[in-house]
């Protein structure tokens, strides 16, 4: 069983580019890409995305965003869906990613290890910051009514290093004094944790508000048949970051490009993040994610926990 969040990370098995990535590029022709410029210093831009939903569903949404970004920067943008949280941080640390969208807690470690700099996140139709929440759900007819009732029960988590799928629910379990009383195991991701609950293979599962919205829309989850027994405080939505060791002129150009995209360019991605109706991307800073830095410090988390 999982005692706590402090553990040695297993070796990440990766393929292609050393990252375990599914790639799809878009943008100007190869001839146009071959000439380096302030907005295209390496001939193309590698943009890393976490597989927080089915990659086949994520790809077209991010392709639309990448196409718009490519036009702004006059540079091909290649969308790279990483294997997991650890692979994405490692890829930016190894200079294999120029841009990356990290989960909030993943950003903490990407900031420390890869000097990831947050540029933008997903705003609502009024241009305001957006958030999501973590949750723990049980079947409607379950005797489990509170966190304390999870003693002796099984809990499906998402993936190591996930904000809502790992750190926050485990923090709640630890705060309730149940770290030695609940069998908590990783299911492989947010959709997989939800599926474990739907299929009845666990007593409870973490389901964040983003996955809840996507699964409800897809008809794979009927919330009326389940009950939420815990909900986290609001979590700031994912940042899109740039690698810190790239030229400042490029970083400035990317920030300007991201913040000038139309809402229509990001609305499909925003929908996966629970933002509807979508607005344009909005600027964020390290301070936006300070609560996650504080959480990592409080729980004694290190980069090995991603």
Tens digits of per-residue pLDDT, 32-63?
444 478 999 999 999 999 999 989 999 999 99
The pLDDT value given to residue 11: 25
Instruction: Using the structure block, give the residue that is written with the tokens 């489990």.
Output: 144
- Decide which of 219, 235, 251 is a domain's last residue: 235
Q: Are residues 219 and 242 in the same domain?
A: no
How many domains are contained in the chain? 2
In a domain, 8, yes or no: no
Model confidence band, residue 23 (pLDDT cutoffs 50, 70, 90): low
User: 277: cis peptide before it, omega within 30°?
Assistant: yes
Q: Are residues 100 and 24 in the same domain?
A: yes
Q: Which residue did the predictor score with more confidence, 268 or 27?
A: 268
Bridge partner list, 138:
227
Coil, helix or strand at residue 298: helix
Q: In whole angstroms, what separates CA 7 from the centre of its chain?
A: 21
- Decide which of 207, 235, 263 is a domain's last residue: 235
Instruction: Using the structure block, give the residue that is written with the tokens 């640390």.
Output: 93
Structure tokens at 6: 């402090």
CB within 8 A of 128, min separation 6: which ones? Answer: 279, 282
Cα–Cα separations (whole angstroms), residue 236 to 24, 105, 200, 287? 28, 10, 31, 11
pLDDT reading at 10 higher than 50: no
Q: Are residues 120 and 21 in the same domain?
A: yes
In a domain, 246, yes or no: yes
In a domain, 2, yes or no: no
Q: Are residues 121 and 259 in the same domain?
A: yes
| CATH number, domain with residue 146 | 3.40.190.10
Count the Cβ atoms, other than its own, within 10 Å of residue 165.
31
Give 225: exposed, middle or buried? Use CB within 10 Å, 0-12, 13-18, 19+: exposed
Q: Are residues 143 and 202 in the same domain?
A: yes
In a domain, 3, yes or no: no
Q: Are residues 29 and 121 in the same domain?
A: yes
Bridge partner list, 230:
136
Tell which residue, 209, 238, 212, 293, has the closest CA to residue 123.
238
Q: Are residues 199 and 251 in the same domain?
A: no
Model confidence band, residue 25 (pLDDT cutoffs 50, 70, 90): low
Tens digits of per-residue pLDDT, 203-254?
999 999 999 999 999 999 999 999 999 999 999 999 999 999 999 999 999 9
Coil, helix or strand at residue 53: coil
* Sheet hosting strand 77-81, strand order edge to edge: 22-26, 77-81, 45-49, 99-101, 240-243, 116-124, 278-283
The pLDDT value given to residue 8: 25
Q: Are residues 105 and 32 in the same domain?
A: yes
In a domain, 196, yes or no: yes
Q: Are residues 124 and 67 in the same domain?
A: yes
Residue 241 near residue 107 (C-beta atoms within 8 A): yes
In a domain, 258, yes or no: yes
Give 43: exposed, middle or buried? Use CB within 10 Å, 0-12, 13-18, 19+: middle
pLDDT reading at 5 higher than 70: no
CA dihedral 26, 32, 33, 39 (to 10 degrees): -100
Q: Are residues 138 and 285 in the same domain?
A: no
- Decide which of 216, 235, 254 is a domain's last residue: 235
| Phi, psi torsion values for 137, nearest 5 degrees | -120, 150
Q: Are residues 120 and 40 in the same domain?
A: yes
- How far, in Å, CA of 171 to CA of 36, rounded? 46
Instruction: Using the structure block, give the residue that is written with the tokens 């908590």.
Output: 184
| Phi, psi torsion values for 134, nearest 5 degrees | -90, 155
Question: Domain range spanning residue 138?
Answer: 131-235
- How far, in Å, CA of 78 to CA of 66, rounded? 7
The pLDDT value given to residue 189: 93
Q: Are residues 246 and 179 in the same domain?
A: no
Please state the pTM of the whole predicted model.
0.86
Residue 107 near residue 116 (C-beta atoms within 8 A): yes
């Amino acid at each position: 069983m999982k005692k706590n969040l402090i553990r040695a990370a297993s070796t990440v098995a990766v393929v292609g580019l050393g990252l375990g990535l599914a790639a799809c590029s878009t943008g100007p022709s190869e001839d146009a890409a071959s000439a380096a410029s302030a907005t295209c210093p390496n001939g193309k831009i590698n943009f890393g995305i976490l597989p927080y939903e089915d990659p086949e569903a994520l790809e077209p949404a991010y392709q639309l965003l990448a196409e718009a970004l490519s036009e702004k920067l006059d540079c091909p943008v290649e969308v790279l869906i990483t294997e997991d949280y650890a692979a994405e941080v490692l890829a930016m640390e190894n200079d294999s990613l120029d841009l990356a969208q990290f989960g909030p807690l993943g950003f903490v470690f990407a900031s420390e290890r890869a000097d990831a700099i947050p540029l933008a996140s997903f705003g609502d139709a009024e241009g305001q910051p957006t958030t999501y929440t973590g949750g723990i759900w049980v079947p409607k007819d379950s005797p489990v009514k509170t966190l304390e009732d999870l003693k002796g029960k099984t809990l499906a988590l998402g993936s190591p290093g996930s904000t809502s799928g790992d750190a926050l629910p485990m923090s709640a379990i630890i705060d309730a004094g149940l770290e030695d009383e609940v069998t908590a195991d990783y299911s492989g991701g947010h959709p997989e944790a939800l599926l474990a609950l739907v299929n009845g293979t666990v007593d409870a599962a973490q389901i964040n508000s983003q996955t809840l919205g996507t699964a409800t829309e897809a008809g794979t989850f009927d919330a009326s048949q389940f009950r939420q027994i815990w909900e986290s405080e609001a979590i700031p939505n994912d940042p899109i970051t740039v690698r810190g060791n790239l030229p400042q002129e490029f970083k400035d150009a990317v920030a300007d490009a991201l913040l000038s995209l139309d809402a229509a360019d990001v609305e499909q991605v925003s929908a996966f993040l629970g933002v509807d109706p979508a607005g344009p991307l909005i600027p964020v800073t390290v301070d936006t994610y300070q609560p996650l830095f504080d959480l990592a410090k409080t729980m004694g988390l290190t980069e090995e926990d991603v």
